[in-house]
Amino acid sequence: MKSLAIVLLATCALPFPALAQQVGPATAKAETESEAAIEPSDGSDIVITGSRFGGRTRLESATPVDAISQEELQQSGRVDLIQMLKVQVPSFSSPRPLASGIGDFLQPPSLRGLGPGELLVLINGKRRHTASDLNSSNGIGRGDVSIDFNAIPSLALSRIEVLRDGAAAQYGSDAISGVINMFLDRSVGTRAQTTYLTTTEGDGDTYEASASVGVPVGAKGVFRLTAAYQDRGGTNRARPDTRQQYFGTNAAGRPVLPSGNFGSGTGLTAPAGTLDPREADFNRNSSQQGDQPNTNKQIFYNFVAEAPGNVELYWFGGYNRIDGDIQYLFRRAGQDETVRALYPDGYSPGLETRIENFSTAIGMRGSDLLGFGWDLSSVYGVSTQDLTYVNSVNVSLGAASPTSFYRNGSDFYQWTSNLDLTREIPVGDSSPLKLAFGLEHREETYRLFSGSPDGYRNGGVPILDGPNAGRPAVVGAQPGPSNGPDDRASLSRHSYALYGEVEKDLFDRMLISGAVRHEHYSDFGDTTNFKVASRLGLIGTWALRGSYNTGFRAPALAQSGYNASNTLILNGTQAIVRVAAVDTPAARLAGARDLKPETSNNVSAGTVFEVGGLTFTLDAYQIKVRDRIAISSTFQDTRLTNFLAANGQSGFAALSFLTNAVDTKTRGVDLVMNYRHTFGDESRVTGTLAGNYNKTTFDRIATAPSPIAGLGITTPLFDVTQQLRFSDSQPRDKVTLDVNYARGPFTLSVTNTRYGEVSTVAIQNRTPAQVAALIPGFDTRTIASSPGSANSDIIQTFGGKVLTDVELSWQATRALRLSAGAQNLFDVYPDENVASTVASVAAGTNGSDNAGTQPYNAISPFGFNGRSVFVRAGLNF
DSSP assignments along 754-820, one per residue: EE--EEEEEEEEE-HHHHHHH-TTS-EEEEESSTT-S-EEEEEEEPPEEEEEEEEEEE-SSSEEEEE
The dihedral region occupied by 695, where left means phi > 0, alpha psi between -120 and 50, and beta the remainder, is beta
Q: Are 669 and 692 in contact (CB under 8 A)?
A: yes
- For the chain, percent of residues with pLDDT exceeding 90: 76
| Statement: residue 617 has pLDDT above 50 | yes
Rounded to two decimals, the pTM is 0.91
pLDDT average, residue stretch 544-548: 97
Please tell me the total count of domains within the chain: 1
Q: Pick the residue with more confidence: 576 or 624?
A: 624
- Tens of pLDDT, residue by residue over 767-776, are 999 999 999 9
Within-domain flag for 256: no
In degrees and rounded to multiples of 5, residue 7 shows phi and psi of -60, -45
pLDDT bucket at 107, cuts 50 / 70 / 90: confident
Q: Residue 47's pLDDT is what?
A: 81
- Tens of pLDDT, residue by residue over 356-394, are 999 999 999 999 888 899 999 999 999 999 999 999 999
Beta bridge partners of 692: 670, 734
Select from 460, 240, 478, 457 the least CA-distant residue to 336: 478
- Tens of pLDDT, residue by residue over 184-242, are 999 999 999 999 999 999 999 999 999 999 999 998 999 999 999 999 999 999 999 99
Select from 97, 45, 93 the least CA-distant residue to 69: 45
pLDDT bucket at 52, cuts 50 / 70 / 90: confident
Within-domain flag for 277: no
Distance between CA atoms of residues 460 and 41, nearest Å: 76
Q: Residue 30's pLDDT is what?
A: 36
What angle (nearest 5°) sits at the alpha carbon of residue 598, between those of residues 595 and 602?
A: 175
- Tens of pLDDT, residue by residue over 836-852, are 999 999 999 999 999 99
| Amino acid in the structure at residue 344 | P
pLDDT average, residue stretch 112-136: 92
Q: Residue 100's pLDDT is what?
A: 59
Distance between CA atoms of residues 157 and 300, nearest Å: 10
Q: Residue 654's pLDDT is what?
A: 84
Q: Residue 3's pLDDT is what?
A: 39
| Statement: residue 91 has pLDDT above 80 | yes
Within-domain flag for 254: no
Tell me the torsion sign for CA atoms 750, 865, 138, 759. negative
Distance between CA atoms of residues 171 and 53, nearest Å: 14
Which residues form the domain of 350?
2-241+285-876
Within-domain flag for 250: no
Select from 265, 381, 384 the least CA-distant residue to 334: 265
Distance between CA atoms of residues 58 and 55, nearest Å: 9
Q: Are 469 and 422 in contact (CB under 8 A)?
A: no
pLDDT average, residue stretch 778-801: 94
Q: Pick the residue with more confidence: 858 or 550?
A: 550
In degrees and rounded to multiples of 5, residue 103 shows phi and psi of -65, -20
H or E element: which one contains 586? helix 585-590
Within-domain flag for 53: yes
| Alpha carbon 830 to its chain's center | 20
For residue 518, what are the CA distances in angstroms to 11, 437, 550, 603?
A: 29, 11, 12, 20
Within-domain flag for 270: no
In degrees and rounded to multiples of 5, residue 453 shows phi and psi of -55, -35
Q: Residue 85's pLDDT is what?
A: 87
Which of the 8 DSSP states describes residue 32?
H
CA atoms within 13 A on the CB side of 260: 15
Residues belonging to the chain? 877
426 three-state secondary structure: coil
Distance between CA atoms of residues 602 and 697, nearest Å: 15
Q: Residue 38's pLDDT is what?
A: 32
| Statement: residue 29 has pLDDT above 60 | no
Q: Residue 136's pLDDT is what?
A: 80
- For the chain, percent of residues with pLDDT exceeding 70: 93
pLDDT average, residue stretch 645-666: 90
What angle (nearest 5°) sits at the alpha carbon of residue 425, between those of residues 420 and 430?
A: 130
Chain-wide mean pLDDT for the chain?
Answer: 90
In degrees and rounded to multiples of 5, residue 411 shows phi and psi of -145, 155
- Tens of pLDDT, residue by residue over 718-733, are 999 999 999 999 999 9
Q: Residue 566's pLDDT is what?
A: 65
Q: Pick the residue with more confidence: 127 or 101?
A: 127
Within-domain flag for 167: yes
Q: Pick the residue with more confidence: 277 or 28?
A: 277
Within-domain flag for 259: no
